[in-house]
């Protein structure tokens, strides 16, 4: 039996093999945030000469990329990217995702929006039938935390501030438990429309295009259905 760490290492290597054919010498690669992405960056390091640069969704990933010798560009200088690679806290069979356990959900959503293709990498424990067992992160403007919490409670959730945590944008995170998210795109739109919300951790309006899932039997690939 492989450990969860080994499963993450396997999918990180599989992701490198998956994305390299999509990159050209002048390409910019979008890179997400999290423990599986850390391993992806490490596995990608021997191939850093295959493409021009990376664009990162967090200070954490930027530092790791730079430590491996990658050039990291500001997103404002990048018009398009062939692919964005990131993990997920939960993903369903339709490739809707719940993300933000690391607190980088806003920048992840922004960088992903510039990419032509989103590839999610995860171990098999992240595949669920219904999103919401993992608390849904919502980034908020600090002055709106109380009012947003009341609105989230009215939607059936139990919001709690992630104490001592501030995002790279200076926002706070409300982690919302108690949700069974059967209509993720609709809920994403509803939460994002609450005044004071920067964004929520649902990636359903624009979900993954493909997912690589590491299982005990090998790598399982899921593709978004048209």
Annotated binding site for substrate: 33-36, 86-89, 99-102, 126
3-state secondary structure (DSSP) of residue 102: coil
Rg (CA), the chain: 17
Q: Which residues are annotated as a binding site?
A: 33-36, 86-89, 99-102, 126
The span from the CA of 31 to the CA of 61, in Å, is 7
CA 186 from chain centre, in angstroms, equals 19
Catalytic residue from among 108, 116, 163, 186: 108
Asked about 163 being catalytic, the answer comes back as: no
At a CB cut-off of 8 Å and minimum separation 6, what does 67 contact?
A: none
What's the CA dihedral at 19, 21, 22, 24 to 10 degrees? 120
Q: Which residue do the tokens 């530092």 mark? A: 63
Residues involved in catalysis: 108
């Amino acid at each position: 039996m492989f450990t969860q760490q080994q499963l993450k290492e396997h999918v990180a290597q599989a992701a490198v093999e998956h994305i390299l054919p999509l990159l050209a010498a002048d390409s910019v690669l979008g890179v997400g945030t999290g423990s599986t992405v850390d391993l992806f960056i490490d596995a990608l390091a021997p191939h850093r000469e295959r493409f021009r640069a990376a664009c990162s969704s967090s200070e954490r990933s930027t530092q790791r990329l730079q430590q491996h010798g990658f050039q990291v560009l500001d997103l404002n200088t990048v018009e398009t990217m062939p692919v964005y690679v990131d993990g997920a806290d939960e993903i369903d069979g339709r490739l809707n995702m719940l993300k933000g356990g690391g607190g980088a959900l806003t920048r992840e959503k922004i960088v992903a929006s510039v990419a032509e293709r989103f590839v999610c990498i995860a171990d098999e424990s992240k595949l669920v039938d219904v999103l919401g067992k993992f608390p849904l992160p919502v980034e908020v403007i600090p002055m709106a935390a109380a009012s947003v919490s009341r609105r989230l409670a009215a939607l059936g959730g139990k919001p709690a501030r992630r104490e001592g945590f501030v995002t790279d944008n200076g926002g706070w995170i409300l982690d919302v438990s108690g949700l069974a998210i059967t209509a993720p795109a609709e809920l994403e739109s509803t939460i994002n429309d609450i005044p004071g919300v920067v964004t929520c951790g649902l990636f359903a309006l624009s979900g993954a295009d493909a997912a690589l899932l590491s299982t005990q039997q090998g790598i399982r690939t899921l593709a978004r259905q048209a």
